[in-house]
Every structure is written in structure tokens, then in C-alpha cells.
Structure 1
Amino acid sequence: MAGDTSDPPEQAPLTGLLDRVQQAGQRRDSVSLGAILESVGRRSFAPFLLIAGLITLAPLIGDIPGVPTLMATLVILSSGQLLVGRDHIWLPAWLLERRVSRERFAKATRLMQRPVRWVDRLLKQRLVWLTRPPAHFPVALTCLLIALAMPPMEVVPFTANGAGLALTLFALALLANDGLMALLGYLLTGSTLALVILNLV
């Protein structure tokens, strides 16, 4: 099901997922979003969240104009389909064909390897009532709210990074059944959205 968790925490879920992502589209000079998503599977919501969060956070990629909005589109489509009960996430071809150069992609993923290993050591099963069904529905609703707010975040410094981090925290929570990550995600979402509102009013 789309709301199911993926790898158990003892398998270092974030490191394992990054390893798979690095193999995406290896024989091409650019990497498509479709290739990245196929490398992690199209039946689980958590990897979609994690890809969107990490790309928004990633140096050399997340700071490209329009990338936060593109990732917001991915989150809106995937979270919306989870909320209506789809067990396989569909995405339009125009979104899947969005590309980044192989050089930029490889450099960004290499920079993420050390922090990813560090984060994996922090993950463990706790407060699981915040991650197991039906708790994935409020997570999806919150991520949908984050995604809807991401386009204006492109003009408010650092708020898109906060959104990317919140999405990453929710993804980690679902992947590792770590409710503490979900709790941190809710807190970060509230503070980031408050900052956006204060800067736009």
C-alpha cells in the first residue's frame, strides 16, 4: 500500500535509499526524476517524500530556481493519491522527464553521503503511533500543506530549505517507524509556515 513503511531501521534506510538513487540513469549524461523514482520504487509514499525533501535540501540542485516548486508538485500528486487510497503512485510524463545533469547529480549525492550516514545512526523505532496507519494520513495532509506553500517560499530566503527538511523528517519517520522524526517534522512545519506568513503579509 502507498502508506506502508519501507526498509526496517536496522537496514539503514536512508543510506540504502541514497545508494539506490545514485545508480539511477547511470548510462546517460543527465538524470531524470522518473529514473530517480524508479530506483526507489513507485508503491511507497515515504521514498517519494524523501526524494522531494532531499532534492530541495541538496546543494547544487535545491537552489536551482523552480526546483522547490517542481518538488512541491511531486508531493502534491503523491500525497493526494495516498489520501484517496491509491496503492500505486502515478505521475505525469512531463514531471518524470525533468532532468538534471549527471555531473551535478553525482556531486550533490556525494556531498550527502556523510550526513545521511549520520542521520541513519539516529533513527530507531519509537513513538510508533505517530507513523503507523492511520497516522500516515495526517502526515500526508501536513506534507500536502507544505507543498502548497512551497512556491511562495522561493522568494522568502531559507524557507524552502525548511520545507525540504520537514519533508525529509516525515519520510524518515515513515521509513524507520520513528515517531520522533514525525514530531520534529510537525514542529518544523509550523515554524516554517509561520515565517512565510510573517514575510508575506
Structure 2
Amino acid sequence: MAEHTTRVLSEVLNHLEHSVQGQKVTIGSLVDELGAHSFASLMLMFALISTSPASSILGVTAIVAFIEFILVAQIMLGRDYLWLPGFISRKALSTHKLCKGINWLRKPVHFVERFLKPRWVFFVKPPWLYLPLAVILAVTPFMPFMEVIPTSGSIASAAIACFAAGLLTRDGLLAMVSILFLAAVPFVIGYVGFSG
């Protein structure tokens, strides 16, 4: 069981890689690969896409932010499966850039997996769980504007990915640290932007 827990992030990458076929892959097919019921895995998958070099695809950060917002809202509403509007589900991504991003992510993912373990489990269960979810809801609307500042969108996505990893592995400490970092991102970017 412990081995499965520590490999869960790599398993998400494997599922993502298996879903990549042809020259383009749609958002809908990525959701189908992991399963529309797998909210935490989907949250992790899309955040990782926006963290990787695949985020260089124009509009990817904005799309991921929109998906994460919808996903988190539906978790809080108690839905059993993810619904996405058609124009998002039909959105196609370059498989070449996506595969490049997956390969790039494997090394840091393997590193992070070494430290994941169940702890502070209360933080990834209701009612505490709703606090970090609310932070994600508050921050994701700002992420499309982060595309004008290099790497800022990827930093926010990395924080969401770490939170999702904590959710999947019941690592409440990682989830808490990640969400505190995510909450600080807009303020830091705003300060840097205005001071620059």
C-alpha cells in the first residue's frame, strides 16, 4: 500500500502519456483516460501540464486555470464526476509538446514522491478541505493574467499540483504548505510587477 501511495504521481503521468496519440490530443480524451470521477488525479494532471514546458503553448495556462476553477467548484458542490463545457473538452493540444512536458516532469516527480506520506490527514478531509479549495477558487481567476509574467503561471500551477499530490497521498502537511504558497503568489507577483 505504501509503495502504491508513493508512486501515485508517476501513475498519473503514465496515464497521461498513454492517452497521447496522434499529432493532437483533446482535453476531453485526457479526462476520459483518468476518469471523470478522479477529481484529485485530474487536478494534478492539469496542474502538471501547466507546470511543464507544455505551458509554452499559447493559452494553456488560461485553459488550465479555467479547468481547475471548474473542477474545484464541482468538488465543493459535491458532484460525483467532472463536467466540462464542450469548447474546453474539444480543445486540442500538441502531443509533441505534451510528451516533452511529461518527460521533463518525471525527474522532479520521482524526487517529490520520496517524501510523500500520510500525515496531518485532517487537512485533506472536510471541513478543513474546503479552506484550501476556496484559496484555489480565489487564485485561479488571476492565472490567465500571469501569462504576461514569465514562469509566474507555472509557479502557481506547481503549487496546485503539490496540493493535489497531498490530496492523493493524504499528505496534509504538503497540502497546507502548498496552499499557503499559492495564496502568496498573486501578492508577490503584484509587488514585483508594480515595483518593476
TM over 0.5: yes
Cα pair 1:9 1:175 within 8 Å, conserved: no
Cα pair 1:9 1:125 within 8 Å, conserved: no
Report the residue type matching 1:69 in the other structure. A
Aligned residues: 192
Question: Which structure's residues are more often helix, by fraction?
Answer: 2
Cα pair 2:135 2:183 within 8 Å, conserved: no
Q: What is the CA distance between 1:65 and its match in structure 2?
A: 2.4
Please state whether the residue corresponding to 2:185 is helix, strand or coil. Answer: helix
Other-structure match for 1:50: 44
1:1-201 equivalences under 5 Å are: 10-11=3-4, 12-26=7-21, 28-59=22-53, 61-198=54-191, 199=193
Report the residue type matching 2:110 in the other structure. R
For 1:124 and 1:68, locate their aligned partners in 2 and report how far apart those are by CA, in whole Å: 29
- Report the RMSD for the aligned CA atoms in angstroms: 1.7
Q: What is the CA distance between 1:189 and its match in structure 2?
A: 1.3
Q: Please, which moves more after superposition, 152-161 or 163-172?
A: 152-161
For 2:44 and 2:194, locate their aligned partners in 1 and report how far apart those are by CA, in whole Å: 27
Deviation readout 1:12-49 (Å, 9 max, x if unpaired): 110111111110043x2211111112111111321221
Q: CA, structure 1 residues 121+95, in 2 after alignment: closer, same or farther (shift >3 Å)?
A: same
Please state whether the residue corresponding to 2:80 is helix, strand or coil. Answer: coil
Report the residue type matching 2:10 in the other structure. T
For 2:157 and 2:28, locate their aligned partners in 1 and report how far apart those are by CA, in whole Å: 19
For 1:129 and 1:116, locate their aligned partners in 2 and report how far apart those are by CA, in whole Å: 24
Unpaired stretches in structure 1, ≥5 consecutive residues? 1-7
Cα pair 1:9 1:123 within 8 Å, conserved: no
Deviation readout 1:90-115 (Å, 9 max, x if unpaired): 01121011112222222221122222
Q: CA, structure 1 residues 154+139, in 2 after alignment: closer, same or farther (shift >3 Å)?
A: same
For 1:73 and 1:85, locate their aligned partners in 2 and report how far apart those are by CA, in whole Å: 19
TM-score, normalising length from structure 1? 0.88
Unpaired stretches in structure 2, ≥5 consecutive residues? none
Identity of aligned residues (%): 29
Cα pair 2:52 2:154 within 8 Å, conserved: no
Report the residue type matching 1:19 in the other structure. N
Please state whether the residue corresponding to 1:31 is helix, strand or coil. Answer: strand
Other-structure match for 1:5: none
Runs of 4+ more than 3 Å apart: none
Cα pair 2:24 2:95 within 8 Å, conserved: yes
Cα pair 1:25 1:32 within 8 Å, conserved: no
Q: Please, which moves more after superposition, 93-102 or 165-174?
A: 93-102
Q: What is the CA distance between 1:9 and its match in structure 2?
A: 5.4
Cα pair 2:160 2:179 within 8 Å, conserved: no
TM-score, normalising length from structure 2? 0.90
